[in-house]
Amino acid sequence: VNPDLVKERQNATFDVDEFASWFYGDTALMGMKRLITEELYRGLDDPLDLEYMSYEDVYTAGVKQAVESTVRMRNMQEKINPGGTEIYPTLLSGLVGNAMMPAGNPMAVHLLMFTKALKGQGTSEQYERWGKRADNFEIIGTYAQTELGHGTYLRGLQTRADYDRRTDEFVLHTPHISAYKWWPGGLGHTVNYCIVVAQLYIDGESKGIHLFLVQVRDEETHRPLPGIDIGDIGKKIGMPGVNNGYLGLNKVRIPRIQMLMRNAQVLEDGSYVKSPVSQLNYFPMVYVRAAVAFGNTFFLAQAVTIATRYSAVRRQSPINEPEPQVLDHITQQMKVLPEIASVVAYRLAAGQVWSLYHRTAKDVNAGDYSRLPELHALSCTLKAACSYDSTYAIERMRQSCGGHGYLAAANLGNIFGLASAACTYEGENSVLYLQVGKILLKAWGDVLAKRQLMPTMSYLGELAAWKQFPQWT
Amino acid sequence: GSWQQLVEALQYAATNKTRLAHQHYTTRLGAGRTQPQALNETGIELTQAAELHGRAFVTYTFLQEVTGKAAAKRSANLNRVLEQLLELYLVHTVQRHMADILRFVPLSEQQIDDLQTRLELVLKQVRLNAVAIVDGFDLEDRELSSVLGSYDGNVYERILASAKKSPMNKRPVPVAFERYLKPFMRAKL
């Protein structure tokens, strides 16, 4: 071990294992994380090999890694707690899966959204029929919401699902190029099913956006089905293995029962049963946004670990003077150290939103939707702040490593690519802030009317009463 | 108390940004703008208020963790490190949003100077444990996958080893030499 790092570790004033246990939640969780990491990395190829592969070979390697790690984690889950979710799929879709796969995971959306939406948005019958198959990877799916011409602005989506009561089917159609589904991970060549977010029309009348399960490829041959125009969208800044895809639908017919109908429903006679709360459509995205905040926190943790160790080893100074560690320069401290604190701050905040999500999910199941707007606001603002901060911090970490940070082998480029994607997926950050801004406007109306505020916004009411800020101490 | 006040400064800025956004939005509606028009025209203030709301939430959560009941379950040494990280995060975040805060909180030059002193002091404190803290993130070498960040710190050896793995180094003379470079250099342009 480099003597500078030995010295740094000897001079530490606290117990590192105690910190790690606290950081991961408790000793058992930290132990489990180590166990999983060990299992996943056993016999893994050198990630540097990916840097010299062709685009298609990177994708193939990504699928191989995703498949192997899924099998390993399922086996571990079965050994430790059959039927539980503490390892699989939770960790595969989050920290460990991403860290292990520098090219990205082509099945991440299947794990994070497809299976979750089938369970959370589908009826029990729909879950029995498709959800279980998805959980067992008999079918692989993705979640297609964004279109070439419309992103976070959901009401602008152009893909249509017209109900045809003569055949008891929906006709799914992308009427313009701008309606093509664009971006979903795995859509290109990996999945054979897809949840398509489309505008529901009954007798030509719009009923807003709803979710539809569409088979896009034959289960045996994997060839695209009639009416399906599907493919890979090409290289991006990062994530070359994620297989982001496009999807055009030419009057594709699906049975009525393939609209996910836990909340809103279309009956056989074409009558429409409204969802009790419109925000329920957005609930899967709340979960994903909390997961994004977690994921980006760990990308930043990776980058700041690299930069801090490098800054302790690297020595630099004016000519004819003994070379100090660059970490002793206050300018280098200012670049690197605040981001260590950011990792801890975002780890805690993401954990808080995660807990609130699980509490709210229970409330929703019991018919209480009161905390949905609050959770929506928190997950939006946290996702936006965390993805933005981590992206720019990772770039700062790269620059804090001087020219060597530019080497692909430093891995800071890959980490940046993974982190920066989060600024635009699951809601472009400015659009999310605007949504939160609207919720704040409504909350301010509550302040003026002296109505009770949501717990995490209650400070607005308390501080609004201050005539001025108290004496600065 | 001081940490609490830094969090409150962010909350106070978020509160007043929200108040102003609401006021300007309402004025626009009153002037005959449609709701979407008024929202669009108030967009800058709305996004700023939303960002501050998020910052206030993150800092408040951090403060609660460090000063709340959970602290009793941790060793004094770990708590001291977490307090330093909180101090660094709060001072740094308040400095980042100083323009927003100054709009609503009348700080003197001396008070702003004090924050800079606090920043420089806490940087020194955190620097002492920086390597150990990132060790505590518990990311092993294969997760980091970086020649610069390995646990053993043997940076230069790893950089050179990775360079040796470049496919370009598999043969001493590249194809491009015979095909392009040599004819080019002998062409006597």
pLDDT digits (tens, 9 = 90+) for B137-179: 999 998 899 999 999 999 999 999 999 999 999 999 999 999 9
Between CA A109 and CA A99 the distance in angstroms is: 16
Which residues of A fall within a CB distance of 8 Å from B155? 2, 310, 313-314, 404
Residue with tokens 């659009």: A431
- The answer to whether B62 faces chain A, any CB pair under 8 Å, is yes
Between CA A343 and CA B138 the distance in angstroms is: 13
Between CA A336 and CA A307 the distance in angstroms is: 7
CA B46 vs CA A118, B41, B42: distances in Å = 34, 10, 6
Q: Is A252 helix (H, G, I), strand (E, B) or coil?
A: strand
Q: Do B132 and A313 touch (CB under 8 A)?
A: no
Q: What share of chain B is helix, strand, coil (3-state, %, to 5)?
A: 80, 0, 20
Conformation bin of residue B54: beta by default, left when phi > 0, alpha when psi is -120 to 50: alpha
- Taking alpha carbons only, the member of A25, A159, A27, A165 closest to residue A90 is A25
Kindly state the helix (H) or strand (E) to which residue A232 belongs, with its residue range: strand A228-232
In this prediction, residue A98 has a pLDDT band, given cuts at 50, 70 and 90, of low
Structure token digits, residue A301: 């943790």
Q: What is the mean pLDDT of residues B62-85?
A: 97
Can you give the pLDDT at residue A89?
Answer: 64
**Are A279 and A369 a contacting pair, CB within 8 Å?**
yes
Closest Cα of chain A to B102: distance in Å?
11
- Taking alpha carbons only, the member of A100, A89, A88 closest to residue A42 is A100
Among chain A residues, the shortest Cα distance to B79 is held by A14
Among chain B residues, the shortest Cα distance to A307 is held by B149
Does this complex have an ipTM over 0.85?
yes
pLDDT digits (tens, 9 = 90+) for A230-264: 999 999 999 999 999 999 999 999 999 999 999 89
**Are B120 and A329 a contacting pair, CB within 8 Å?**
no
Structure token digits, residue B103: 């709009």
Residue with tokens 């959970």: B70
Structure token digits, residue A380: 């939006």
CA A125 vs CA A129, A135, A211: distances in Å = 6, 15, 16
Q: Do A2 and B155 touch (CB under 8 A)?
A: yes
Q: Do A14 and B39 touch (CB under 8 A)?
A: no
- The answer to whether B41 faces chain A, any CB pair under 8 Å, is no
Can you give the pLDDT at residue A34?
Answer: 87
Residue A413 CA neighbour count, 13 Å, CB half: 16
Closest Cα of chain A to B185: distance in Å?
29
A218 phi and psi angles, rounded to 5 deg:
-65, 135
pLDDT digits (tens, 9 = 90+) for A257-313: 999 999 899 999 999 999 887 777 677 778 888 889 989 999 999 999 999 999 999
**Are B140 and B151 a contacting pair, CB within 8 Å?**
yes
Closest Cα of chain A to B180: distance in Å?
23
Closest Cα of chain B to A40: distance in Å?
10
Q: Do B132 and A441 touch (CB under 8 A)?
A: no
Between CA B132 and CA B81 the distance in angstroms is: 10
- The answer to whether B109 faces chain A, any CB pair under 8 Å, is no
B37: number of Cβ within 10 Å:
13
Catalytic annotation, residues of A: 426
- The answer to whether B167 faces chain A, any CB pair under 8 Å, is yes
Residue A150 has pLDDT above 70, yes or no: yes
Structure token digits, residue A283: 């609930």
Q: Do A37 and B140 touch (CB under 8 A)?
A: yes
- The residue that leads in pLDDT, A74 or A392, is A392
Interface size between A and B, measured as CB pairs under 8 A: 304
In this prediction, residue B1 has a pLDDT band, given cuts at 50, 70 and 90, of low
Within 8 A by CB and 6+ apart from A161, the residues are: A170, A171, A172, A196, A198, A199, A200, A201, A210, A212, A259
Q: Do A407 and B74 touch (CB under 8 A)?
A: no
* Pairing of β A141-144 and β A193-202: parallel
Which of A440, A446, A458 has the highest number of chain B CBs within 10 A, making it the mutation to test binding with B? Answer: A440
Residue A97 has pLDDT above 70, yes or no: no
Which residues of A fall within a CB distance of 8 Å from B88? 337-338, 340-341
Q: Do A349 and B58 touch (CB under 8 A)?
A: yes
pLDDT digits (tens, 9 = 90+) for A156-212: 899 999 999 999 999 999 999 999 999 999 999 999 999 999 999 999 999 999 999
Residue A371 has pLDDT above 90, yes or no: no
Residue A320 has pLDDT above 80, yes or no: no
Between CA A212 and CA A209 the distance in angstroms is: 10
pLDDT digits (tens, 9 = 90+) for B16-48: 999 999 999 999 999 999 999 999 999 999 999
Between CA A320 and CA A324 the distance in angstroms is: 12
pLDDT digits (tens, 9 = 90+) for A421-465: 999 988 899 999 999 999 999 999 999 999 999 999 999 999 999
Residue A93 has pLDDT above 60, yes or no: no
Q: Do B58 and A343 touch (CB under 8 A)?
A: no
Q: What is the mean pLDDT of residues A106-118?
A: 90
Q: Is B134 helix (H, G, I), strand (E, B) or coil?
A: helix
In this prediction, residue A39 has a pLDDT band, given cuts at 50, 70 and 90, of confident
Residue with tokens 């001079």: A11
Closest Cα of chain A to B173: distance in Å?
19
Dihedral of alpha carbons B119, B124, B127, B128, sign: negative
Of A34, A305, A468, the CB nearest to B149: A305
In this prediction, residue A33 has a pLDDT band, given cuts at 50, 70 and 90, of confident
